[in-house]
Amino acid sequence: MSTRLRGDRGVIAPTDWKRTRVRWTARTAHAVLLAALVAIGLGPMLWLAKSAVTPTQDTLREPLALWPNGIDLANLSEAWTRVEIDQYFFNTVALAAGAWAVQLLVAATGGYALAVLRPRYGKVLSGVVLATLFVPAVVLLVPLYLTVLDPPLLGTSLLNTFWAVWLPAGANAFNVLLMQRFFSSLPKEVFEAARVDGAGPYRLFWSIVLPMSKPIIGVVSVFAVIASWKDFLWPMLVLPDPDLQPLSVRLPALQRFVELDVFLAALAISTLIPVVLFLAFQRMFLSSAGLGGAIKG
């Protein structure tokens, strides 16, 4: 009996791979696919990298020249300093960091209360939280904007503050669901043992549950940072002050008054960090993306 793992083989049988015709067809198909992926996936990135250091005239005259006539590294420094990409870059980082912290706080504490402490009204509460998954983001656009203009309890407008992006990011039922599911799958005996040893709910949360939950914290973190980095419409609405805007909101406006080569340099700088993060944490990104299909999109 074979005890092979799933994913060990695909449609093509091991015996098929020994047939020359099958092997060559598959290899050719893979070579074509690889060439297509390089051209489509990597091509635009390479073009952007090249054009970021090419004078505008060269890019306009011969956009597909493999090697530019002159190299203009000044584009990059000009984009960073004169166009103040650095400022928008740090705004983007600050927005992502705050949104990440709020999302993690809400999802971890809420998920813990619902999955481990289990209050009697827990079922109803998680139902009300999960129900928001059915409400598409578009419904909230206008009323959420008005809420940020005049929030209840607070009495002062959040417009043009980072809180306007950070706090609404926390209302993410999907994160709560992920955390709750993961916490309920942890072995109950560990909780009981900790309780017998005298650990209260805070100690249990901080010293037992959180250290055991690194994988799910990682997944929620990746989702939170990516979503924040990509967000456009919401920060555009609540941060009308250009000094506070992230890259995604500022770049379209820059296009109107910056020459092409510096603009492309700015685009390249904005792309660099996510791409480097992706290459560094490739496995985590790809497994999160696969998981995304199982529960979310």
Partner 1 sequence: MATTRTDHGRIAAPARAVPRQAARPGRRGPRRSRRSGLHTLVFLLPMLLIFGVFSWFPIGRAILMSFQQTNLVTDPTFVGLENFQTVLADPLLWTAVKNTLYFAFLALLFGYPIPLVAALLMSEVRRAKGLFSALAYLPVVVPPVVAVLLWKVFYDPGPEGVFNTLLGHVGLGPYAWLQDADIAMPSLVLEATWAAAGGTIIIYLAALTGVDPTLYEAAEIDGAGIWHKIWHITLPQLRGILLITFILQIIGTAQVFLEPFLFTDGGPANSTVTVLLLIYRYAFTSSLGGDYGAATALSLMLAIVLALFSALYFRLTRSWSSS
Write out the binding residues for partner 1, residues 53-72 only, by CB under 8 A: 60-64
Residues 6+ apart with CB under 8 A from 71: 53, 54
Residue 6 C-beta: closest distance to partner 1, Å: 6
Q: Restricting to residues 217-246, which ones interact with partner 1 according to CB under 8 A?
A: 229-230, 232-233, 237
30 binds partner 1 per the rule CB under 8 A: yes
120 binds partner 1 per the rule CB under 8 A: yes
Nearer to partner 1, 33 or 190 (CB): 33
Enter the tokens of residue 151.
């929030």
List the one residue from 68, 80, 94, 145 that touches partner 1 (CB under 8 A): 145
Q: Restricting to residues 156-185, which ones interact with partner 1 according to CB under 8 A?
A: 167-168, 170-171, 173, 176
206 binds partner 1 per the rule CB under 8 A: no
279 binds partner 1 per the rule CB under 8 A: yes
List the one residue from 18, 20, 21, 41 that touches partner 1 (CB under 8 A): 41
Binding mask 78-117 for partner 1 (x = CB under 8 A): ------------------------x--xxx-xx-xxx--x
